Amino acid sequence: MNERQGDKSVANQQDSHEGGCACGYVRYRMSSRPLIVHCCHCSMCQRQNGSSFAVNALIEADRVHLLTGDVVDVTVPSPSGKGQKISRCPRCQVAVWSYYLVFLNGVGERVRFIRVGTLDEPARITPDVHIYTSSKQPWVLLPPDALAVEEYYVTKDVWPRESLERGSALLKTVQD
């Protein structure tokens, strides 16, 4: 486990978070801490978000509860070729979360990538790791103590212990 996790770790952040879309039709609650928070600098996230990076809180789908409204899924290309489904508000079209059809040995739709910017208090969730920094915009400056990798990482080297345990439990549901 990465020692950098310390007090900034998702394991030390608030247990529950609520968020929603821009128009208020979609409201959701994360009922636990995220597994990990990525700040992704890949070119696909840049294009799909119209921004220089995307901040996503990864969490088990059964820990995300839709409070109001519903979402529509739009499939977009992904590096695997299998696609990424982005869940959007059908009214204002804001992306609230997504999931990759191929992720972590087949858990795919069982892990949601919550768009941190849709949370009511996004400042409460900070990135644990910056990924795909090889394609980050040159003017984006990372904090000196930020954990950053040029591409992706080995999960056991980055995720906090609690998240690794939750990830193992999730993998067992796929194997059963």
With cut-offs at 50, 70 and 90, classify the pLDDT of residue 79. confident
Query: Following DSSP, what letter does each residue of 153-170 receive, concatenated?
Result: --HHHHS-HHHHHHHHHH
User: In terms of residues, how long is the chain?
Assistant: 176
CATH architecture for segment(s) 3-175: Alpha-Beta Complex (3.90)
9 pLDDT higher than 60: no
Choice between 80 and 39, residue whose per-residue pLDDT is larger: 39
Tell me how far apart the alpha carbons of residues 105 and 155 are, in angstroms, rounded to a whole number: 12
- The answer to whether residue 1 scores a pLDDT higher than 70 is no
| 56, 119 contact by CB (below 8 A) | no
Of 48-57, 68-77, 100-109, 136-145, the range with the lowest mean pLDDT is 100-109
CA 118 – CA 169 distance, rounded (Å): 27
Rounded Cα distance, 154 and 141, in Å: 23
